[in-house]
Amino acid sequence: MKRYEDLSPSLRCIMTPGPVEVDPRVLRAMSFPILGQFDPEFTSIMNETMEMLRELFATGNQWAYPVDGTSRSGIEAVMVSLIAPGDRVLIPIFGRFGHLLHEIAERCGAEVFVIEKTWGSVFEPGEVIAAMHSFKPNVVAMVHGETSTGRVQPLAEIGRACRELDALFIVDAVATIGGVPVETDAWMLDAVIGGTQKCLSVPSGMAPITYNERAEAKLLTRKRVERGLRTSEVQPGELSFVRSNYFDLSMLQDYWSPLRLNHHTEMTSMLYALREGLRLTLEEGLEERFARHVLNEKALVAGLTAMGLELYGDPSCKLTVVTCVIIPEGVDGESVRSMLLERFGIEIASSFGPLKGLIWRIGTMGFSCRENNVLRVLGALEATLLRHGVSLPCGLAVQAALDVYEANIR
């Protein structure tokens, strides 16, 4: 019989665009005793989590709760619930995850219209608004922070146009929530999806979402109560009912409402983790947290530039929490990543699609977004590139980053 050793994962400095390092206090929360999902003590934790999510999303929406599953589960739940077969859906794409929205919308049976921007840039709001006037969509779905390219899309003008044209605006804020401002109400976003494993520094496994009364009104036209829970015959709504049981937001909101209508067994330990991650985020203060991400990005960029490396993408729309670096000519990018991991215990990311093998992506997110991590990755990257035969100015990268930190203290 094969024997297995005690589980003992290596300690890593994770500087990717997700997952990132998890605050020890969040890990501690995951070890707490299990409660039953309808225990009043547990439903109180559910309610507190909803309250904190409203503050995180900057919204007065009634509905703000997590979908159990990775970030993609939240995206799919929102889209499959709010996009009915035959709906006209506009998806502006400027990176990998816009293509994901496109694929999910197609699977919903929508008539999808796509506009695309060269990777490394974003849309001028007027470009999206012009496409809306042309296509007249029922739904617009868009990524806020695109981790594949390290760019962030302005949303306020697009949200206002969606409201004027009576189109629902669905936003993927998985990479930005908790690290970059996401103003749900001010930007007139109808449904927003966040992630736990990025700027919130909670393990992957839940997808916080919020949606407003406009979205709920459409959702209720598709509402159908699960057969085993009906007390009387319930007919489908005017539109075709949601084709997923697990991701049907009309049933999920009944579960998260005072009705507590059973839908699934809540992920107890993950909810503890999310609640603690949210508590820590709000305890730090959203504005202070955003400023911390800006400071560490500034130090990282200063160090990379001092090292002589070139950054990828339009700097005017750079995403604070992801920095994309062009791999120097003649360098095996995967060999560099392997050496960083094996010799220094540091993980940075490669990229996808047309950028595969061309750039590295370095995340400064959540608990990983710390001065010592930034200094560590700069020093290790410099040493690794020297080992790979790259000629660069020695010692300047860490000094440039230290200059940024010391100027911030003064």
Quick one: 149 and 257 in the same domain?
yes
The answer to the question of residue 164 being in a domain is: yes
Mean pLDDT (whole number) for 169-183: 98
List the domain range (segments joined by +) for residue 187. 22-281
Q: Give the pLDDT confidence score for residue 409 in this predicted structure.
A: 86
Q: Give the pLDDT confidence score for residue 387 in this predicted structure.
A: 97
Mean pLDDT of the chain: 96
The answer to the question of residue 2 being in a domain is: no
Where does a domain end: 257, 281, 305?
Answer: 281
Structural domain total, the chain: 2
Quick one: 258 and 301 in the same domain?
no
List pLDDT tens digits, range 229-264. Answer: 777 765 556 568 899 999 999 999 999 999 898 889
Mean pLDDT (whole number) for 362-386: 98
Mean pLDDT (whole number) for 3-13: 94
Q: Give the pLDDT confidence score for residue 227 in this predicted structure.
A: 82
Is the pLDDT score of 77 beyond 60? yes
Quick one: 251 and 293 in the same domain?
no
First to last CA, the chain: 63
Residues 139 and 90: their CA atoms lie apart, in Å, by 6
Helices 71-82 and 213-220: crossing angle, nearest 10°? Answer: 60
Helix, strand, coil share (%) of the chain residues, nearest 5: 45, 15, 45
The answer to the question of residue 7 being in a domain is: no
Q: Give the pLDDT confidence score for residue 1 in this predicted structure.
A: 86
Q: Which of 105-109, 228-232, 383-387 bottoms out in mean pLDDT, i.e. has the lowest? A: 228-232
Quick one: 168 and 235 in the same domain?
yes
Quick one: 176 and 199 in the same domain?
yes
Please report, in range form, the residues annotated as the binding site for substrate.
361
Q: Give the pLDDT confidence score for residue 251 in this predicted structure.
A: 94
What is the pTM (predicted TM-score) of this model?
0.96
79 Cβ contact list (under 8 Å, min separation 6): 101, 104, 105, 108, 141, 170
List pLDDT tens digits, range 44-76. Answer: 999 999 999 999 999 999 999 999 999 999 999
Quick one: 400 and 304 in the same domain?
yes
Please report, in range form, the residues annotated as the binding site.
361
List pLDDT tens digits, range 281-311. Answer: 999 999 999 999 999 999 999 999 999 999 9
Quick one: 70 and 139 in the same domain?
yes
The answer to the question of residue 190 being in a domain is: yes
The answer to the question of residue 204 being in a domain is: yes
DSSP 77-134: HHHHHH--TT-EEEEEESSHHHHHHHHHHHHTT-EEEEEE--TT----HHHHHHHHHH
The answer to the question of residue 78 being in a domain is: yes
List pLDDT tens digits, range 182-222. Answer: 999 999 999 999 999 999 999 999 999 999 999 999 999 99
Q: What is the percent of the chain with per-residue pLDDT over 90, rounded to a whole number? A: 92
Q: Give the pLDDT confidence score for residue 236 in this predicted structure.
A: 57
Quick one: 226 and 310 in the same domain?
no
Residues 50 and 211: their CA atoms lie apart, in Å, by 12
Q: Give the pLDDT confidence score for residue 262 in this predicted structure.
A: 87
